[in-house]
């Protein structure tokens, strides 16, 4: 036995369980090795104890009792591998904690929901024939609550309601002032008017009235209270997104009233004697641009060179493989045709990008493709698609975007499909 192995016999010395050979080897080595002799001498007290049968019995009974969970756990925890794993785990947690602490969480703003806000005009004290009394105002208040809060109540409470109202136009304020003067003159038999409010409050009241009237007019037209100048030229991008603001722009079936997603029918504005001319004027002012911007199908087209997006006017390298990124402004079905074959097709969602498979064309020059956006699925004859491409398209390539917006022209407003020619230019 090697000296190291002989030292392992020490455990048998105290219990007196060494064999004759082991004893001889151990003691012979101890005579020559002072360290081993000292170790044996230190074992002597244990040996003396274990020579007592009663002590042995007591220790055996202690061994028979199950090890305490705590003691076993600490023994297990003291193993080097376990301690190393624990340290690695603590270090990993610390790294993650530091990383999370130093990372700037991206701000995610809630997307505002644009809804129409119906505001009934409040009576102007200067226009009323008698001083307003509390009972007279009560029904109006309850009506406003029902009419004005009902659409908002239909919305989920979680969404933010954002009311967009045009600022009171100076012309409207002027018209109201004139009309108020005329009313005062035309009612001589009426009771004496109440005292005018303080001068500073008059402009505010007239402004609120103008705002209420214009809002009611917009509501009667079934449109948003978005101020669109009558003669404003709209480019393709504006038309592309304007369709999203008009209720029912994405619906090709009239709402039956049962669908939760269908917009509520426009509530006719309550006729008012004194507001009739202004309402008609406001309606005519809004109806014209809104009808001109009736739902028009359109597609936002761009080229994907790898992961980067470029405009359609980009000159491509010969044999370069690209993809088309197509974003429709309405739910429907997209078909991408090149020559006699359909290179891509599928159902698309409003403002959800649709990417074609990789397109590869040999040679140089221009390659003509056609993109058909249809509200309904249809059978496409690739060769005849070019003939369906109408010249009545509005196309815009905004400077701030690397894409081209193509929208139906005025004659195509309300159409169920649009065919957009896409030309790829190869060097």
Partner 1 sequence: MDREQILAKLRERIVLFAASHLSRDAAEDLAQEVLLLLHEKYAHLERVEDLLPLSLQIVRFKIMSQRRKSVRRGEYTQVSITDIQLPDLDDNPAEYVERKQMLEQLAKAMSGLGERCRELMRLKLEGKAFPEIQKIMGVAAINTIYTWDHRCRKNLLEAMGGSWEPPKR
Residues that bind partner 1 (CB under 8 A): 5, 7-13, 15-20, 22-24, 27-28, 30-32, 34, 37-38, 40-50, 52, 55-56, 58-60, 62-65, 67-68, 71-72, 74-76
Q: What is the CA radius of gyration of the chain?
A: 43
Nearer to partner 1, 13 or 333 (CB): 13
Nearer to partner 1, 41 or 187 (CB): 41
CB of 24 to partner 1, least distance (A): 6
CB of 87 to partner 1, least distance (A): 21
Residues in CB range of 13: below 8 A, 6 or more apart:
26, 40, 43, 47
Nearer to partner 1, 41 or 136 (CB): 41
Nearer to partner 1, 27 or 241 (CB): 27
Query: What residues does 355 pair with on adjacent strands?
Result: 325
CB of 22 to partner 1, least distance (A): 7
CB of 72 to partner 1, least distance (A): 7
Nearer to partner 1, 8 or 272 (CB): 8
CB of 81 to partner 1, least distance (A): 14
CB of 6 to partner 1, least distance (A): 9
CB of 78 to partner 1, least distance (A): 9
Nearer to partner 1, 42 or 196 (CB): 42
């Amino acid at each position: 036995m090697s000296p190291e192995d002989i030292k392992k016999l020490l455990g048998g010395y105290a219990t007196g369980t060494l064999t004759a050979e082991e004893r001889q080897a151990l003691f012979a080595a101890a005579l020559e090795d002072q360290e081993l002799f000292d170790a044996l001498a230190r074992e002597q007290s244990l040996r003396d104890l274990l020579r007592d049968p009663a002590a042995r019995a007591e220790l055996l009974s202690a061994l028979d009792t199950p090890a305490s969970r705590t003691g076993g756990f600490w023994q297990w925890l003291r193993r080097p591998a376990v301690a190393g794993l624990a340290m690695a785990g603590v270090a990993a947690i610390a790294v993650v904690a530091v990383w999370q602490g130093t990372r700037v969480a991206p701000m995610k703003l809630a997307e505002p929901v644009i809804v129409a806000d119906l505001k009934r005009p409040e009576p102007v004290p200067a226009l009323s024939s008698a001083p307003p009394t509390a009972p007279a105002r009560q029904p109006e208040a309850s009506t406003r609550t029902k009419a004005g809060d009902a659409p908002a109540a239909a919305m989920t409470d979680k969404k933010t309601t954002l009311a967009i109202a045009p600022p009171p136009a100076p012309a409207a304020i002027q018209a109201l002032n004139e009309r108020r003067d005329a009313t005062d003159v035309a009612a001589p038999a009426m009771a004496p008017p109440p005292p005018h409010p303080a001068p500073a409050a008059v402009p505010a009241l007239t402004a609120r009235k103008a705002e209420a009237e214009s809002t009611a007019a917009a509501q009667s037209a079934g449109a948003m209270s978005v101020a669109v100048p009558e003669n404003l030229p709209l480019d393709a991008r504006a038309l592309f997104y304007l369709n999203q603001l008009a209720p029912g722009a994405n619906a090709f079936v009239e709402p039956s009233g049962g669908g939760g997603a269908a917009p509520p029918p426009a509530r006719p504005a309550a006729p008012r004697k004194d507001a009739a001319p202004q309402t008609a004027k406001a309606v005519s002012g809004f109806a014209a641009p809104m009808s001109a911007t009736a739902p028009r199908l359109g597609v936002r087209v761009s080229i994907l060179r790898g992961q980067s997006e470029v405009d359609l006017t980009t000159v491509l390298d010969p044999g370069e493989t690209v993809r088309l990124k197509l974003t429709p402004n309405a739910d429907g079905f997209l078909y991408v045709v090149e020559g006699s074959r359909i290179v891509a097709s599928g159902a698309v969602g409003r403002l959800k990008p649709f990417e074609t498979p990789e397109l590869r064309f040999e040679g140089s020059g221009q390659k003509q493709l056609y993109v058909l956006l249809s509200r309904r699925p249809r059978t496409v004859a690739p060769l005849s698609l070019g003939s369906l491409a109408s010249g009545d398209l509005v196309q815009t390539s905004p400077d701030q975007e690397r894409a081209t917006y193509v929208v139906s022209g005025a004659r195509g407003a309300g159409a169920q499909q649009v065919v957009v020619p896409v030309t790829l230019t190869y060097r």
